[in-house]
Amino acid sequence: MDSAENKRTGNHSLRLISKVKPIYVLSILVLFLAISFGLTKTNRYKLCNLKSILSRQKLLNFFHPTPLQKKRNENTQMPSAESESEPPFCVQWMAPFLSGGGYSSEAWSYILALSNYLKTQKNSRFRLSIEQHGDQENLEFWEGLPLEMRNLAIELYQSECRWNQTVVVCHSEPGAWYPPLFDTLPCPLIDYSNFKVVIGRTMFETDRVNSEHVSRCNRMDFVWVPTEFHVNAFTRSGVDPFKVKKIVQSVDLEFFDPSKYKPLDFSSIGTLVLGSDLTGLNLEEKFVFLSVFKWEYRKGWDVLLRSYVKEFSGVDNVALYLLTNPYHSDRDFGNKIVQYVEGSDLEKPINGWAHVYVIDEHIVQVDLPRLYKAADAFVLPSRGEGWGRPLVEAMAMSLPVIATNWSGPTEYLTDENSYPLPVDRMSEVKGGPFKGHLWAEPSVDKLQLLMRHVMSNPEEAKAKGRQARNDMSRSFSPEIVAQIVLDHLQQIINNIG
């Protein structure tokens, strides 16, 4: 979801052409074609079509500007809005809107909240524009978005900003900020001095920020982080405390509303990878644990499997469903699970292994609430989270949640609304760009007890789920978070305007 370790592949979209000098146009087109030919024929066509939809108007303006646009281009670095009566400032939000990952989901939560709020304001001093940045486009994610979100994306992608009247929000890991450390559309597009204010929105899942990223954060005018945990980690690592602001993430309570949905049929999407075949048995009678994560060590899938198979066996009325996707790996999750269990010191119960299912197909955004609705509890014993998007979605759906009581989730986990999982110790990150950092080792034994407790006390668990939704509504609704963002943006604009 929100890993800072992911050295993401590039996504130089055609829309960049409208924002650079003509001398660079040919090289950008060559790069775009090179990226496109690496795709399948069908996906290449779909991706080109998507980019053309989002970029068509800007390309027309670039190659065939009207006299008024020519005049504006001479006086400003960017074409301005079509109407001189529009707000004087622009907030350009650059994020992986089309990737489907954690940063993507978070960025959309802000944009939806802000756009809804701005529609009701007649005298706003700024308007919104968005730009794909930091991750590669995911066609399945785009095609699974509700129609109104796709229409909003097109509208905001085609909204133009004068650079010297723009507040830029770089919503990604610092390695993608200008100049980027890997192949991606930089944020901001050119040097920081060309814009009114540049804000970095980021997070980490370990106990610190490395020196390169500290330097990049300190180049920003402000750095928005989602939790008090991050405020402490960033300032302790050397980021200027004046720049660091806590801006929590919202969750769409209207979309993730359990009263609106019927459960998704797990039997139609899950593949049994551990335990005996359940053909002929009624899965609806079983207690279902659900976990949603990408397949990486940080997510604690090993902790989850170890706790689950130690606590339950084939005679227990229980099933564990894992919705997962690759992270620098192949999709052979079933064999990975079997190899882990059989290669460990775990002894197979007399009654056989408890049932484990894998869902490795893409679940479109509009079906996610139905997925949560089909479960009895949500569990994620990760070693570190920036925020924990699936956790707050599950809580909004009134699911009882078991989650590691460290890092980002400490912002919203309480004994009243969830089952915070204790940490046994801190351990060193063994590889990657954050080698030597520390993250949590959640307790296997305590997770066993909590999973059994939740299953054995369904009414208590449901009560915690109801409290979880109430807490999400009270502190993290789009309206509340939009106001937090707006207050800070208005303060910035008042100071510069």
**Strand pairing class (377-380; 287-294):** parallel
| Tally of CA atoms within 13 A in the half-sphere of 384 that contains its CB | 26
Mean pLDDT of 70-82: 43
Nearest-angstrom CA–CA distance, 204 and 460: 33
Nearest-angstrom CA–CA distance, 357 and 338: 11
Each residue of 112-145: pLDDT tens digit?
A: 989 988 888 777 889 999 999 998 888 888 888 8
Nearest to 55 by CA among 194, 134, 170, 153: 153
Nearest-angstrom CA–CA distance, 263 and 276: 24
Residue 79's pLDDT is what?
43
Q: Give this prediction's pTM.
A: 0.84
Nearest-angstrom CA–CA distance, 495 and 104: 29
Residue 82's pLDDT is what?
44
Query: Could you give the 3-state DSSP secondary structure of residue 428?
Result: strand
**Structure-block tokens of residue 222:** 């402000």
* The pLDDT of residue 474 is above 90: yes
Residue 40's pLDDT is what?
55
Each residue of 344-360: pLDDT tens digit?
A: 999 999 999 999 999 98
Each residue of 155-165: pLDDT tens digit?
A: 999 888 888 89
Domains, the chain, ranges and CATH? Answer: 14-250+478-496 (3.40.50), 258-475 (3.40.50.2000)
Decide: 96 and 104 in contact? Cβ < 8 Å: yes
